[in-house]
Amino acid sequence: MRKNKILPFISILIFTISVINNCSYFPQRAKLPPIYEDITPEESFRLIQQHLGDEDFVILDVRTPEEIDKGYIKNSKFIDFKSDNFIKEITKLDKTKIYLIYCKGGVRSEEAMQIMERMKFEYLYNMLRGFDEWKELEFPQVNFRK
């Protein structure tokens, strides 16, 4: 008789655990197909706003230190595309995060995106026309050193 009472309890317990594991109480990033996209500074600004506070979103500045001294986008990570260590530094990055890549005019960031794509990074956005246009459009920037 006691066996008959335990079996339904175990069934309910297993069902409850499976529901909890698939529930939104434990947020998981939905697996999206890889993204390799060129976007405008306006779209870049919206992307940044959309991902405020998101640890899985990285703004990657690939300009030289001299260029960075003239200003940059807040919360950027800096890896100089012209540096001998560029590839080594890129390999240290998490390939599953979302990257918005920018440079001065859009050429180096495009090349950086192509390199990262070949390295199997999953979510890459290249900001067309770069930081020059970002400043021209008067989007927020940090003035580092003059």
Residue-wise pLDDT tens digits, 100-130:
999 999 999 999 999 999 999 999 999 999 9
List, in sequence order, every residue forming a beta bridge with 126; answer none if it has no partner.
Answer: 38, 101
120: left (phi over 0), alpha (psi -120 to 50) or beta: left
User: With 90 as the cut, is the pLDDT of residue 31 above it?
Assistant: no
Q: What are residue 34's phi and psi, to 5 degrees? A: -55, 145
User: With 90 as the cut, is the pLDDT of residue 18 above it?
Assistant: no
**Cα atoms in the 13 Å half-sphere on the side-chain side of 22:** 5
pTM, full prediction? 0.77
- 135 close to 127: Cβ distance less than 8 angstroms: no
User: With 50 as the cut, is the pLDDT of residue 23 above it?
Assistant: no
Question: In this predicted structure, what is the pLDDT of residue 88?
Answer: 97
Percent of the chain with pLDDT over 70: 76
> Domain 29-136 classified CATH 3.40.50.720?
no
Mean pLDDT over 30-38 rounds to: 80
Task: Using pLDDT thresholds of 50, 70 and 90, give the confidence band for residue 34.
Answer: confident
Element (H, E) at 38: strand 35-39
